[in-house]
Amino acid sequence: MSSHETHRDIHESSLEDTKDKEAFNNENVNEIYEPIEFTEDDNRRVLRKIDLVVLPLASLVYFCQYLDKRGLSFAAIFGLKKDLHLQGQDYSWASSIFYFGTLASQFLSIKILHMFSVRVYVGATVVLWGGVMMAQAAPQNAGDLLALRFLLGLMEGSAYPAFVILISFWYRKAEHPARFAALYGADIVAQGLGGLFLYGLSSIKGSLAGWRIAMLIAGGLSIVIGLGFSYLVPTDAKNAWFLTERDRQIAVDRVALEHASAQSKEWKWDQFWDTMKDPRFYLTIIWSFCLCACTVLNFGTLILNGLGYSTFITTVLQLPACGMQLVCLGLAVLACKYYPNRRGYIQAAFAIIPLLGSILLQVLPFENKWPLAGALWLTTCNHAIVITNLSIISSNIKGHTRKTLFSSFYYVGYATGSIVGPQLYFDKEAPLYRTAMRSISGLYGAYIVTMLLFTFMCKWENARRDKLAAEGNQDAIARPATGYDNESDVKDLSFRYVL
């Protein structure tokens, strides 16, 4: 594949790390590149280099994020509840309050992502959340724990919308599902191998409780990875230290041709109002609310432990769940590859798997321990859904202000759902939490309906634009872009939505 298209230069930045912010603030979207030709071999070579640097570092951040979250559930079965005298719904609130912090961070990220590059923003927040994670070794009562959990959510939540934007800057639309799968695959590894790691640390006997040691080490690991991310990930493709000068331009061109939007510090009010009037914006918030209210993240260990399994067996029983999640993740990536314009239908189909698990947890008798464990594993299989709907947002939303709003408010829904979800688990209903499972079943049903509605709306808009093009509207003809721009998908009639 070759291109003779012209392209706009987004950043005039030096390679020195100390000038990242200056480079970001001195963007010039009006300067034009000289045309460049590149072949499919060039494209694959550049993609491989990006995958070897950007993707592993981003995945390590996700690994730390999930490890930090898992820390609470393992601490719960290794004495945290007893040591801090947690009673009633205290543990549920310790899980929920994390997401109050995440919710607050989304409103901050809308502004900050217009001020700093993704690399600086993510690196700083990872270091900060590592420090808060280490501080979680110190609480002496429920109040201390709740305060620290709020701060941890405030720090960690900031990174979520940044990664949606990061993937859209570096990768083509068809490449998005596999790259989000790599990030969430790191989550699954943290759930499995990280669970064993936390189990080993939490089992330490000494003057300091094992779960406190686990918090210290997991937090220290996050700090190291945050510093590495800040140092090694470029601000954008134009100053990528691991690419040659020609490869840098290819890295920009290959994405820009697909109507990718430029990173920009300028706030666009027209994009704000277009977003507020767009029903699809509110549908994405409903998706994330439903998915996150369905989480069994902090209660899976309690369910298995409550079925009579020891702490070690409870830890080991996380591994089959991880295997099933990885299989679903791989199948979702393959489905998106072979059916590239069916992402809405693909994730609606994958939602049936955890829906079935939640139903089985309601109807199976308590005596059926292994079938109940299998039902729990099915209920954890929602990563395939998440990576597909994140790829829909990153592929379909154009314009920096609009994309920031979509990705930030997606995580507003995420945080709200994650606040509500733990409150559905009533302590008196342990270990099977029937009320929570009934709610999860209903939420997955709502998710499937809203996803199909979003898909229909995008399909209708594509058909409307095709009709305009057929009637002679030159602006509506589907064509490759001439470079990066900051025009929204609403205004760019040549843009077509991925279904």
Question: Quick one: three-class SS letters along 12-27?
Answer: CCCCCHHHHHHHHHCC
- State the Cα–Cα distance between residues 381 and 65, nearest whole angstrom: 18
Contact 366, 372 (CB under 8 A): yes
Is the pLDDT higher at 47 or at 106?
47
Question: Does the pLDDT at position 282 exceed 90?
Answer: yes
Question: What are the tens digits of pLDDT across the range 229-257?
Answer: 888 888 778 888 999 989 998 888 888 77
Q: Which CATH class is domain 17-476?
A: mainly alpha
Helices (H), 18-117: 20-25, 40-77, 80-83, 90-112
Interval 472-476 mean pLDDT: 88
Question: pLDDT grade, residue 16 (50/70/90)?
Answer: very low
**pLDDT at 489 > cutoff 50:** yes
Tell whether the model's pLDDT for residue 9 goes beyond 80: no
Q: Residue 261 — very low, low, confident or very high, per pLDDT cuts 50/70/90?
A: low
* Mean pLDDT score, 22-47: 63
- pLDDT class of 14 with cuts at 50, 70, 90: very low
Residue 485 pairs in a beta bridge with 261
Which amino acid type is present at position 53?
Answer: V
Of the pLDDT bands very low, low, confident and very high (cuts 50, 70, 90), residue 264 is: low
Residue pair 151/247 in contact (Cβ under 8 Å)? The answer is no
The pLDDT of residue 260 is 56
Instruction: Give tens-digit pLDDT for 188-244.
Output: 887 777 767 777 776 777 778 888 888 888 889 889 998 998 888 887 788 889 999
Q: Please give the structure tokens belonging to residue 128.
A: 């900060």
Please, what is the average pLDDT of the chain? 82
Residue spans of the domains in the chain: they are: 17-476
Q: Is the pLDDT of residue 114 over 50?
A: yes
* Residue 474 CB neighbours (<10 A): 10
CA distance 179 to 332: 12
In contact, 497 and 461? CB cutoff 8 Å: yes
Query: What pLDDT score was predicted for residue 481?
Result: 64
pLDDT confidence band for 454 (50 / 70 / 90): very high
User: H/E element holding 345?
Assistant: helix 343-350
- Banded pLDDT at 126 (limits 50, 70, 90): confident
For residue 100, pLDDT beyond 90: no
pLDDT at 98 over 60: yes
For residue 351, the model assigns a pLDDT of: 93
Q: Which pLDDT does position 426 carry in this prediction? A: 84
- Among residues 139, 299, 303, the alpha carbon closest in space to that of 211 is found at 139
When pLDDT is averaged across residues 21-30 and rounded to a whole number, the result is 41
Lowest mean pLDDT among 113-117, 218-222, 381-385, 490-494: 113-117
Give tens-digit pLDDT for 403-441.
Answer: 888 888 888 888 888 888 888 888 888 888 888 899 999
